[in-house]
């Protein structure tokens, strides 16, 4: 079995992080992402398909406090 990096993306934007991993031929899996801007999410989904997006990280952190 080949090792795979499991990635949580914070402030993912249009996902330059995923593209870097792909270009470097690093086996990876995006578990979920935090995206704030709806247009960044639309661009991300156009490039890579749908993903589980938690939205604004600050709202989730503050709701747990």
Kindly state whether residue 46 falls inside one of the protein's structural domains: yes
Question: pLDDT tens, 5-49?
Answer: 998 877 766 677 888 898 999 999 888 777 667 777 777 778 777
Backbone angles phi, psi at 11, to 5 degrees: 55, 50
Q: Which residue has the tokens 């934007």?
A: 13
Number of domains in the chain: 1
CB 64 within 8 A of CB 44: no
Kindly state whether residue 14 falls inside one of the protein's structural domains: yes
- Domain span holding position 25: 5-57
Count the alpha carbons within 13 Å of 11 in the hemisphere toward its beta carbon.
1
Q: Could you tell me the pTM of the whole model?
A: 0.56
Kindly state whether residue 27 falls inside one of the protein's structural domains: yes
Tell me how far apart the alpha carbons of residues 58 and 6 are, in angstroms, rounded to a whole number: 22
């Amino acid at each position: 079995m080949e090792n795979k990096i499991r990635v949580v993306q914070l402030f993912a934007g249009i996902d330059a992080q995923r593209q870097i991993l792909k270009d470097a031929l690093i086996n990876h899996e995006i578990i979920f992402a935090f995206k704030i801007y709806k247009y960044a999410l639309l661009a991300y989904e156009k490039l890579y398909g749908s993903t589980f997006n938690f939205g604004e990280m600050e709202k989730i952190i503050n709701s747990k406090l």
